[in-house]
Structure 1
Amino acid sequence: MPHFVMDCSNTVLNSYDETYIIEQIYLVANESGLFAANDIKVRLNPFTTYSVGNKTEDFIHIFAHIMQGRTTEQKANLSQQLVARLVTLFPDIPNIAMNISDFEKATYCNRNML
């Protein structure tokens, strides 16, 4: 925990390789101070078939899933920082966005909790 999952058009990978993009997302998440460095998980899903506003236009969207307990201000700042980094890396991509969802601590379970 937390999980950062980036969905994007496959042409995004023409600019940078997956490892570099994942590293950039990790760095911003870690710099936020909201998470332990070894808990941050990042994944990337490139798509070849997609529609954005009924067009085939490049996009990046990050879905962050984090444990409840952060303030709205902290989450908004994290979103702004990550989107800003992506806009810097991909200035020609018109659709870059992010949203954050909270895990409910009471219902969360992982292998180590069994």
Structure 2
Amino acid sequence: MPHCIVEYSQNLAQEVPPADWLEAVKSACVASTLFAETDIKLRSTPYKSFVTGGQEDAFVHVTVRLLSGRSLEQRQQLSHLVLESLTQFSLKNVSFSVEIGEMERESYAKTVVLS
């Protein structure tokens, strides 16, 4: 756990390969010491159509969904580390944002089906 979802404007894929966004977010999650690397789930979604303030501005937004129980301080540190990891790329005119969301531990369900 956590589930990290990287949403980004498709025009950025020419400058930063999607795998690089995922690696940056994973590194930030590992640096937080809240998760084992093997527990981090990552995925990305490019957006072809997007408008911010009436303009087609480039963006990267990361949502990190984790089980409830972490302190506000831990969630703030994670948010800061992920944001820092995004800004390492030499991009201009891009909006970066990070959202930490909690999944209720009591109602979360998971199963792994193996062959």
The one-letter amino acid of 2:41's match is: K
Amino acid at match of 1:40: I
Q: Distance in 2 between matches of 1:71 and 1:26?
A: 20
What whole-Å deviation, never above 9, does each CA across 1:48-72 have from its counterpart, x for those lacking one?
Answer: 1011122100001101100111111
Q: How many residues in Structure 1 have an aligned counterpart in Structure 2?
A: 112
TM-score by length of 1: 0.91
Q: Would you identify which runs of 4 or more consecutive aligned residues in structure 1 move more than 4 Å? A: none
Q: Which amino acid aligns with 2:53?
A: G
Q: Which runs of 5+ in 2 are unaligned?
A: none
Residue number in structure 2 paired with 1:61: 61
Could you tell me which amino acid in structure 2 is paired with residue 36 of structure 1? A
Matches within 5 A, 1:62-81: 62-81=62-81
Matches within 5 A, 1:11-90: 11-90=11-90
1:105 Cα shift? 0.8
CA distance in 2 between partners of 1:102 and 1:38 (Å): 20
Q: Which has the higher helix share?
A: 1
Q: For residues 93 and 40 of structure 1, what CA distance do their matches in structure 2 show?
A: 29
Identical amino acids, percent of aligned pairs: 24
What TM-score, normalized to structure 2? 0.90
Gaps spanning 5+ residues in structure 1: where?
none
